[in-house]
Amino acid sequence: MKTLFNILLVAVFSVVAASSALADGSGTPKSKAYNIRTTDKLRISVFQEDDLATICRVDAKGTVNLPLVGEVRVYGQTLSEAEQTIATAYKDGRFLRNPEVTVAVEEYAPREVSIQGQVKNPGRYALPIESTMSVLDLVTKAGGFTDTAQGTAVKITRILLDGTTKVITLDVESLIKGKSDAKNTGENNALLLEPDDIVYVPERII
């Protein structure tokens, strides 16, 4: 009986450990936290403050217009970060002592990326809402490289949260072949696409 109990105990601990690994990020990520975009429609409520409940869109400045506090910038934040930002706005304005804010997405803004140049089906592609798409995924969706593509120098143009532009060059061809490339070291985050990224595959110079 003791042996059976010990086996069951080990099994329970194994399940708990596996769940914890996924929760703290040590397991394989299947999704990522959603970052608020312009034109997202948000439902914002404050616990026991029905008069402050509102549904509003994130404007071009990345802000939402809220009762009492006015404009609050939430662009680029996760939903939990936005909840904290809005709660702080109500506290700093001395409207509420300890507000409990809930933010949910009522309607998602269109999320697209584009791929141009030497792929078989260039164009715009929709991004998943709460999961990731890599540059390699996008190249695959676009039918793969053409015969004249320079897959070792794929460029990603990204508009950052402060409005500046960043251009990243990746060796996607090595990724396809399963090779590790020193040029990609430190740029792994760039493999995950963000809304409005522009991917360009140049032509190989023969």
pLDDT in tens, 162-186: 778 899 999 998 888 775 554 554 4
pLDDT score at 178? 73
33 pLDDT higher than 80:
no
Domain 41-107 CATH superfamily: wza like domain (3.30.1950.10)
Find where tokens 């897959």 sit.
151
pLDDT over 70 percentage in the chain: 77
Q: Residue ranges of the domains in the chain?
A: 41-107, 112-201
Confidence at residue 29, expressed as pLDDT on a 0 to 100 scale: 36
Residue 50 confidence (pLDDT) above 50: yes
Task: Give yes or no for residue 190 having a pLDDT over 60.
Answer: no
Query: Phi and psi dihedrals of 152, rounded to 5?
Result: -85, -5
Tens digit of pLDDT for each residue in 6-21?
A: 433 333 333 333 333 3
105, 189 contact by CB (below 8 A): no
Contacts of 77 (CB under 8 A, 6+ apart): 35, 36, 85
Mean pLDDT computed over every residue of the chain: 80
112-201 fold: Outer membrane lipoprotein wza fold like (3.10.560)
The candidate with the shortest Cα–Cα distance to 155, out of 172, 142, 138, is: 172
**pLDDT for res 16:** 36
